[in-house]
């Protein structure tokens, strides 16, 4: 960070101890408490001087003339950045067993979200891989009525979509059966968002009748990608709201507004999708006004060649950043191992 304040080792230690104490207790931290706890080996006057310097740098605030200091947005940010710069070491996976989930992405993401929120007591959000990154596993072309055809598409992640097509006249059952066989031959293993899908539908040598029938069914595949819809899984909202103090009414209100704005959340998490390390947004970092009383820590999961989704935690700025960073890393690691088994890179 180019605008990051340059702190002496003692100033960084004092800032860290202030943030640690404030996260733990919620009370402003004074020089006397820091010295008496043994957190800082220095005289009270030296600590008071350093606290004043940190306040001048905008890293600490001073709520009352007789009170101790509290972290500002910038103070939390620098504190969390220091945690990110520490070597992650071996990332332990989240304590959740996805081995029995097989290829059901919905179940895997819901399970991960709930476990993540339980471990941290924060709101956990996990975005699903975009539909266009999945491969087609099976297609059914079903004749519901003489003039009504339903196309069912099953993807490599266990997702199932269906689309119904009405026709002006009765459909030949043999044509529907041919289409089922042809589509499975041509499209099984093809990625929904790839150019190959459309090319495979334009097979030369088809009769005019077959071409017209496939052209009618084409939206069953093309419109899936065109929606741009992405799943968002949320866990722990009720638990966090129960834990937050009455004094946090403003933060509670902000959190509720965030959870109501699903599209806004998806857009914000997409910003993190290319980040190579856990992603922080604290207080004034947020472009959305009602997020400025909250903090977010996020990390990406996916394949070696591309990220597929984001794992994030949202809560008050007085969250335990060490636990949050460790937890999103663990969840991202767990999901990356899982998706590597069901996606063909």
pLDDT in tens, 290-306: 788 889 999 999 888 88
Higher pLDDT, 277 or 61: 61
pLDDT band at 180 (very low <50, low <70, confident <90, very high): very high
Q: Most confidently modeled of 87-91, 125-129, 180-184, 250-254?
A: 180-184
CATH fold match for the domains 9-84 and 91-130+230-342? no
**Which DSSP helix (H) or strand (E) runs through 17?**
helix 9-25
Note the pLDDT of residue 167.
94
- The answer, yes or no, to whether residue 345 has pLDDT greater than 50, is no
Q: What is the CATH number of domain 137-226?
A: 3.30.390
291 DSSP assignment:
G
- The answer, yes or no, to whether residue 69 has pLDDT greater than 60, is yes
* Percent of the chain residues topping a pLDDT of 70: 83
pLDDT band at 245 (very low <50, low <70, confident <90, very high): low
Token pair for 311: 């794992």
Note the pLDDT of residue 157.
62
Burial (CB count <10 Å: 0-12, 13-18, 19+), residue 289: exposed
Note the pLDDT of residue 169.
93
| Cβ proximity of 61 and 55 under 8 Å | yes
Q: What is the CATH number of domain 91-130+230-342?
A: 3.30.450.40
**Which DSSP helix (H) or strand (E) runs through 259?**
helix 249-260
pLDDT band at 103 (very low <50, low <70, confident <90, very high): low
CA distance 38 to 243: 30
Domain boundaries, the chain: 9-84, 91-130+230-342, 137-226
pLDDT in tens, 13-57: 999 999 999 999 888 998 888 888 887 888 889 999 999 999 999
**For 36-50, 87-101, 131-145, which range has the lowest pLDDT when averaged over its residues?**
87-101
Other beta carbons within 10 Å of 252: 17
State whether CATH 3.40.190.10 applies to domain 9-84.
no
pLDDT band at 1 (very low <50, low <70, confident <90, very high): very low
* Percent of the chain residues topping a pLDDT of 90: 34
- 3-state DSSP assignment of residue 90: coil
């Amino acid at each position: 960070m180019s605008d990051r304040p340059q702190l002496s080792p003692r100033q960084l230690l004092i800032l860290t101890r202030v943030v640690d104490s404030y996260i733990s207790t919620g009370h402003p931290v004074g020089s006397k408490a820091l010295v008496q706890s043994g957190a800082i080996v220095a005289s009270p006057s030296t600590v008071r001087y350093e606290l004043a310097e940190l306040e001048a740098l905008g890293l600490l605030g001073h709520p009352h003339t007789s009170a101790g200091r509290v972290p500002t947005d910038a103070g939390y940010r620098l504190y969390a950045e220091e945690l990110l710069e520490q070597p992650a070491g071996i990332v332990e996976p989240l304590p959740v067993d996805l081995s029995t989930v097989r290829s059901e992405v919905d179940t895997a993401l819901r399970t991960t979200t709930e476990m993540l929120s339980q471990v941290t007591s924060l709101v956990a959000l996990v975005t699903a891989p975009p539909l266009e990154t999945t491969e087609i596993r099976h297609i059914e072309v079903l004749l519901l009525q003489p003039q009504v055809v339903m196309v069912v598409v099953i993807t490599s992640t266990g997702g199932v979509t269906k689309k119904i097509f009405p026709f002006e006249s009765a459909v030949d059952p043999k044509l529907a059966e041919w289409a089922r066989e042809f589509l499975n031959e041509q499209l099984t293993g093809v990625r929904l968002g790839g150019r190959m899908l459309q090319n495979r539908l334009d097979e030369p040598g088809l009769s005019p009748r077959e071409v017209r029938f496939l052209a009618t069914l084409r939206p069953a595949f093309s419109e899936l990608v065109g929606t741009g819809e992405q799943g968002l899984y949320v866990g722990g909202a009720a638990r966090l709201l129960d834990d937050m103090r009455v004094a946090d009414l403003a933060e509670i209100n902000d959190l509720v507004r965030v959870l109501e704005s699903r599209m806004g959340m998806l857009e914000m998490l997409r910003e993190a999708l290319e980040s190579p390390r856990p992603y922080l947004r604290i207080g004034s970092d947020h472009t959305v006004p009602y997020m400025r009383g909250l903090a977010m820590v996020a990390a990406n999961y996916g394949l070696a060649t591309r990220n597929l989704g984001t794992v994030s935690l949202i809560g008050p700025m007085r969250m335990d950043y060490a636990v949050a960073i460790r937890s999103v890393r663990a969840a991202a690691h767990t999901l990356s191992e899982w998706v590597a088994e069901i996606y063909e890179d």
